[in-house]
Chains A and B, each alone.
Chain A
Amino acid sequence: MSFRFRLWVFLVGAAGFAVLFAVACFGLPAFGSGHHPYGVRAVRASLNHHTANVIASVNFDLRAFDTLGEETILFAAVLGAVVLLRQTQDERRKTPEPAVVHPRVRRFALLTLPLALLVGLYVIAHGQISPGGGFQGGVVTATALHLLYVASDYRALERVRPLTVYEIGEAAGEAAYVVTGFAAVLAGSAFLANVLPFGTLATLSSGGTVPLLNAAIGLEVASGVVVLLARFLDQAVEIEEPGEDEESGDPREIEKPRESQGPGKPRESEEPRGCGRPKESEGPEASGASRDDDNRDDKRE
């Protein structure tokens, strides 16, 4: 299918869609109108279960089984990405160069790191009370960890990020969700029914199983995103394909990883404001080599 033909197919389809969609829009109830039968029922059900955040209640109580499905999609997507991005036999690992980071940026990142983690945990823990929950908090927590990559370089991140733990964490999150569901069955109710005492509205212990499921999702999402980003970082920073940089064996001479510029952009304007100096490094191998080896093992499972 030629480019031109494809464009024509799109234009015809888009025109048809645009007309039908516009007609449909004018047939919809006006924006902001008041009739929401499901919303009203969801709010009532949520307040019956003493869950202040109705969205969390919909996700983890009314539609908890549906969320299990969503969680499984997430699990499968992470698994798929991990399989696709694993290190193949013809690829080798090199130690990434240490990065030059301005001390001010480093201090800022190191100070924000625990704060961001705390905010992530806060968002997870208060999912049933205030806006937030496992999905959002999990991503914030995972991002917090990557402040270390910003503060220094990939090797620093790897030092505090035992990947196996996060891989287990992801599975544990998924498992905890299912186990909570079966606990309800053992308690003589339906799968994922809310069987715990509901507590008082707007406290941390309110909402029965909602905070537990929230925590499970938080664990899963945080670990999943960490694993995902780890695989992408491995690929972009450490793993080399055959034919990539074959002219140099010494990791320190490899200049290619810095090739992140778009083509044809003016280079002069983006000169770094050189204040950072190359590190008085003891060489990437000194601390990198041994860690590199045991890391390799868990990549090859």
Chain B
Amino acid sequence: MSTSDGWLAAALVPLLALGPVLWRIAHGPAKDRLVGQNLVSLLAGLALLLAAQGFGRPSYTDVALVVSVLGPTGTLIYARFLDVLPDSRLVKWTALIGVPATVLPLCVATGPGRAMAKLLLVGALLIAGSVVTSARGGDGGTTA
């Protein structure tokens, strides 16, 4: 197994985790659905970062960048309309553990430079987005 295959195998982890999340979104109660929506963008961002490295194409990082910006936006929009923004330790700790565990090896692999700064930016955005939308007391606002 080559190195790039290793990165792609790592990308499989968040990808497979999306399966149960889909089940919760489709069948769970309202709160779970929003947590699921939150988790999806986080996991997708991680999978995209790992895939970019696995394919050896730094330009694919742009997709992860857009996920990290728009994912929390989508979650907050749902929170506004469903009137609920549940706190979720699952999302919070997935972000706090998963993002560094993904981004730091990627940084080591890319080496110092602008590409690394970009990875760190995406990682910071993913963490910030997930923490803000999942921490206790994050009421999404009641009306428009």
Chain B residue nearest to A116 (CB atoms) is B69
Contact A105–B136 (Cβ < 8 Å):
no
Chain A residues near B128: list those with CB within 8 A. 108
Contact A273–B144 (Cβ < 8 Å):
no
Contact B31–A147 (Cβ < 8 Å):
no
Chain A residues near B143: list those with CB within 8 A. 96-97, 99-100, 153, 257-258
Contact B85–A119 (Cβ < 8 Å):
no
Chain B residues near A271: list those with CB within 8 A. 84
Q: How many residues of B contact A (CB 8 A)?
A: 38
- Tell me whether B100 is interfacial, beta carbon within 8 Å: no
What is the total of A-B residue contacts with beta carbons within 8 Å?
A: 134
- Tell me whether A266 is interfacial, beta carbon within 8 Å: yes
Bound form: Cα–Cα A160–B86 in Å = 30
Contact B69–A150 (Cβ < 8 Å):
no
Bound form: Cα–Cα A153–B77 in Å = 11
> Per-residue 0/1 for A120-159: is the Cβ within 8 Å of any B Cβ (1 yes, 0 no)?
0001000000111000100010011011011001100000
Bound form: Cα–Cα A272–B65 in Å = 30
| Cβ-neighbour of A276 out of B66, B69, B82, B141 (below 8 A) | B141
Contact B83–A257 (Cβ < 8 Å):
no
Interface residues of B in 81-106 (CB under 8 A from A): 81-87
Contact B144–A257 (Cβ < 8 Å):
yes
Contact A104–B138 (Cβ < 8 Å):
yes
- Tell me whether A275 is interfacial, beta carbon within 8 Å: yes
Contact B141–A99 (Cβ < 8 Å):
yes
Chain A residues near B137: list those with CB within 8 A. 102, 104, 273, 275
> Per-residue 0/1 for B40-53: is the Cβ within 8 Å of any A Cβ (1 yes, 0 no)?
00000000000000
Chain A residues near B72: list those with CB within 8 A. 108, 112
Contact A143–B70 (Cβ < 8 Å):
yes
Chain B residue nearest to A119 (CB atoms) is B69
Chain B residue nearest to A274 (CB atoms) is B139
Chain B nearest CB, measured from A261 CB (Å): 7
Chain A residues near B135: list those with CB within 8 A. 104
- Tell me whether A270 is interfacial, beta carbon within 8 Å: yes
Chain A residues near B77: list those with CB within 8 A. 146, 149-150
Contact A272–B83 (Cβ < 8 Å):
yes
Contact A236–B82 (Cβ < 8 Å):
no
- Tell me whether B132 is interfacial, beta carbon within 8 Å: yes
Contact B83–A270 (Cβ < 8 Å):
yes
Q: Bin chain A's interface residue count.
A: 35 or more
Chain B nearest CB, measured from A129 CB (Å): 8
Bound form: Cα–Cα A97–B141 in Å = 11
Contact A140–B66 (Cβ < 8 Å):
yes
Given A140-B69, A258-B142, A105-B132 contact (CB < 8 Å): yes
- Tell me whether A265 is interfacial, beta carbon within 8 Å: yes
Chain A residues near B85: list those with CB within 8 A. 102, 105, 272-273
Given A131-B62, A270-B82, A272-B83, A105-B140 contact (CB < 8 Å): yes
Chain A residues near B81: list those with CB within 8 A. 260
Contact A273–B136 (Cβ < 8 Å):
yes
Bound form: Cα–Cα A271–B30 in Å = 10
Chain A nearest CB, measured from B43 CB (Å): 20
- Tell me whether A269 is interfacial, beta carbon within 8 Å: yes
Chain A residues near B80: list those with CB within 8 A. 99, 149-150
- Tell me whether B129 is interfacial, beta carbon within 8 Å: yes
Bound form: Cα–Cα A274–B86 in Å = 11
Interface residues of B in 24-76 (CB under 8 A from A): 29-31, 59-60, 62-63, 65-66, 69-70, 72-73, 76
Chain B residues near A147: list those with CB within 8 A. 73, 76
B binding-site residues for A, Cβ under 8 Å: 29-31, 59-60, 62-63, 65-66, 69-70, 72-73, 76-77, 80-87, 125, 128-129, 132-133, 135-144
Chain A to chain B contacts (Cβ below 8 Å), 10 pairs: A97-B144, A99-B143, A102-B138, A130-B59, A258-B143, A261-B82, A266-B30, A270-B30, A272-B139, A274-B139
